[in-house]
Amino acid sequence: MNAFVAILRRDLRLAMRQGADSVMVVAFFIVTTTLFPFGVGPEVNILARIASGVIWVAALLAAMLSLERVFQTDYEDGTLELLTLSPAPLELLVLGKVCAHWLTTGLPLIMAAPIMAVMLNMDQNGFATLMIAMLIGTPALSLIGAIGAALILGARRGGVLVSLLVLPLYIPVLIFGAGAVEAALLGISAQAQLQIMGAILLLSLAAAPFATAHAIRQAVE
């Protein structure tokens, strides 16, 4: 656990020094969400109807912006190779980097989501479900995205490639995340959707560190 905490602190410290990345993710989320009223019109009923889907699509796209840099900088300066030679399990170190990624991207998106929901005239009955769904869904996005980020190490135009790799895997999170909020807005229990999202998170937590570590070992060989 000392290695996990050390890599988590290191990545958070680097993220603080390069704060533009986190700001860019949140800014993209806000700008993308803000553009929808201009495209579909100012009708409040229409905006309220599409609010949950718009917020989730914007959050998904924003989360992908920083995936390429999760391992790329460490790969280029040789840090990633040293991590693979470390006595600490690489899977644990990968999990630390994923947690740092979520804290600097996913958590700010969760904090910005209610503001965007108000702007889109979402009914207040869906706010709690939106926050819970994003709290479950965004870590899964970071875990799944880490696999794609590891697979594109050393490739040209990695940003485009990682988007193509992870976008199909993000679709279940998008469907059940937006569906949970929609159910809450209709007065229906969202427990089923949230449970499925929890299962996706647990599956990602169990499999993603090992798949990511294997991809990293292949990249540094």
pTM equals 0.88
Model pLDDT for residues 56-74, shown as the tens digit of each residue: 999 998 888 888 778 877 7
Mean pLDDT over each residue of the chain, to the nearest integer: 86
* Range from 39-43, 99-103, 208-212 carrying the lowest mean pLDDT: 39-43
Quickly list H helices, the chain: 2-17, 20-40, 44-65, 72-77, 79-85, 90-101, 107-119, 127-151, 158-185, 191-220
CA–CA separation, 142 vs 190, rounded Å?
Answer: 23
